[in-house]
Amino acid sequence: MAEPSDAANPADWSCPLPIGQREQVVLGHGGGGRLSAELLADVFLPALANPLLGQLADSTVVTVGGERLALSTDSFVVQPLFFPGGDIGSLAVHGTVNDLACSGAVPLHLTAAFVIEEGTDIEVLRRIATSMGAAARDAGVAIVAGDTKVVQRGHGDGVFITTAGVGRVRDGADVRPERATAGDAVLVSGSIGRHGVAVMSVREGLQFGSPVTSDSAPVHGLVAALFDAGVDVHVLRDPTRGGVAASLNEIATAASVGIVIDETDVPIDATVRSACALLGLDPMHVANEGCLLAFVPAADAERALAALHATPGGEGAVRVGSVVPDHPGMVVGHTAIGGTRIIDMPLGELLPRIC
C-alpha cells in the first residue's frame, strides 16, 4: 500500500484563518452580517467608543435643548445605478428616512455628499439628482446641505452617495431593540426580498418569468400609523443589508430573548421565492428597502395590523412570529414541512453592491 502523501498527513492540517483575523477587507465586510459586526468590533468601536455609538442603532437619539432628536448617516454604492423600482438617488433618501423613522422619529432634514467618477455622463447625474429631489419631496423632507467630490476614472465605479438625516422623536416613543419582550408579536409590513432580487436581476441579466420590482420606499408613514393608533411600539427595524434574518438576530441578541418565526406566514412573492430557490439563497437573508419589522405587545397586534393595512405600503402586513423567553439570542423558524431550523445571521454579503 502506498504511503499517504504529505498533504494528507493529519499533522499538517490546519483550520482556515479565523474571520476576525483577516488582514484585508473583503466584500462580505459590507454585507450587514457577521463579517460587518466583526469589522465594527475589531476596528471602529475601539477607536470611536462612546455610549451612543455603542448602541449600534441605525440612528441615534440625542437630547438637544430638551428635545429628542434622531441622527443617522448612511452610504449607498448600488450597482447598477438604476434598477426596477428605483435608483441610487431615491434609495439614498429612502434609506435615511427609514433609519430615522425606525427610531420613532419624524424625519425633518437630510444632507447629501456625492463621490463621482471622472467620465460619468452629466445626464446620469441629472437623472439621479432629479429622482433624489422627487423622493425627498414625496417623503416630506428637504435636502438642506451637500458636497461633491470627483475621483479619477476607474477609482469610483460611477456614483457613490452618502446621506445624513435628522428627525424629531415623537413624545413618549421608546423604540429600541432592547425593548423586545417575551410575548411580543413580530409583524412585517409586506413581501420580503424584493430589493435584492430586483437589483441582481438587472445586474446579471437574469429573468425569472415575471419582473421583480424593488420595494424601495419610505416607511415613516407606516410608523406614524402605528403611533397614531396608540400602539405601544417596542422595536422597529427596516431590514436592509442581511435581510430579515440579520435584523431578527440583532434584536434577539440585544434583548437576550428568543424569536420564533412561522415561515409559512412570511410574505414572499412567488417570483422572489423561485429566484432564491434557483440561486440557492434564503429569502430571509436578502435585502429590503421599503419593508418594516415591528415588535408590539400581543394585545396590540390586531390594532397594529389594522393601522398598517389602512396605510399605503402596509396593505400586506402580517404577523410572522413571536418573542419567547426560550433560547435567548437565537431565532428559529417553523418550516412548511413541520420542522424547526435556526435562522442564523448571514456571514457576509450574498449580493454585493445592492444598497
Q: Does pLDDT of 10 surpass 70? A: no
Distance CA 237, CA 255 (A): 14
Q: Which among 160, 322, 352 has a CA at the least distance from the CA of 242?
A: 352
Element (H, E) at 154: none
Distance CA 170, CA 101 (A): 10
Element (H, E) at 279: helix 270-279
Distance CA 191, CA 201 (A): 17
Say what percent of the chain tops pLDDT 70.
91
Determine the average pLDDT of the residues in 47-75: 87
- Provide the 10 A C-beta neighbour count for residue 244: 27
Distance CA 64, CA 55 (A): 18
Q: Does pLDDT of 9 surpass 60? A: no
Strands, E assignment, the chain: 60-64, 67-76, 82-83, 86-87, 105-117, 142-151, 159-169, 185-188, 235-237, 258-262, 293-296, 318-324, 331-334, 340-342
**What pLDDT, on the 0 to 100 scale, is given for residue 156?**
80
Lowest-confidence pick of 106-110, 128-132, 348-352:
348-352
Burial class from Cβ neighbours inside 10 Å (0-12, 13-18, 19+) for residue 338 reads: exposed
Nine-digit cell string for 115: 463621490
**What pLDDT, on the 0 to 100 scale, is given for residue 233?**
98
Determine the average pLDDT of the residues in 18-41: 69
**Mean of pLDDT over the chain:** 89
Query: HSE (CB half, 13 Å, CA atoms) of 167?
Result: 30
pLDDT digits (tens, 9 = 90+) for 144-197: 999 999 999 988 889 999 999 999 999 999 999 999 999 999 999 999 999 999
Determine the average pLDDT of the residues in 120-137: 97
**What pLDDT, on the 0 to 100 scale, is given for residue 13?**
35
Q: Please, are residues 323 and 295 in contact by the beta-carbon 8 Å criterion?
A: yes
The DSSP letter of residue 54 is: G
Distance CA 194, CA 281 (A): 13
- Provide the 10 A C-beta neighbour count for residue 227: 18
Determine the average pLDDT of the residues in 73-87: 94
Say what percent of the chain tops pLDDT 90.
73
Torsion of CA 34, 37, 43, 49, to 10 degrees: -160
- Provide the 10 A C-beta neighbour count for residue 331: 28
